[in-house]
Structure 1
Amino acid sequence: MLAVPGALPTDGSRYALEIKWDGIRAIVYKDYQDPQVRITGRQAADYTSRYPEVAGLAVDLAGHRVVLDGELVAFDRTGRPAFQRLQRRMQVTDPGRLAEFVPVTYLPFDLLHLDGYDLFDVPYLDRRDLLERLGIDVPPRFPGDATELLTITREKGLEGVIAKRLDSPYRPGRRSEWWIKVKNLDMRDVVIGGWRPGRGR
Structure 2
Amino acid sequence: MAPLNEDQLENIRNERKIQIMRAAIKVFATHGFKLTKISLIAKEAGISHGLVYHYFKSKEEVLYDSLEWAMELNETRKFLTELSEMAISPVEKLHKFTKFALSSSLSTSSDIFRIIQHLEHTEGVPDHLLEFTKNVGMMYVEFFIPIFIEGQKAGEIIQEDPEVLVGIFLTIISGVMADDPGWWQENMDHKIAIYLRMLTTR
TM-score band, normalised by the shorter chain? under 0.3
Structure 1 length normalisation: TM-score? Answer: 0.24
**TM-score normalized with structure 2 length:** 0.24
Task: Work out which structure has the larger RCO, using CA pairs closer than 8 Å and 6 or more positions apart in sequence.
Answer: 1
Structure with larger Rg = 2
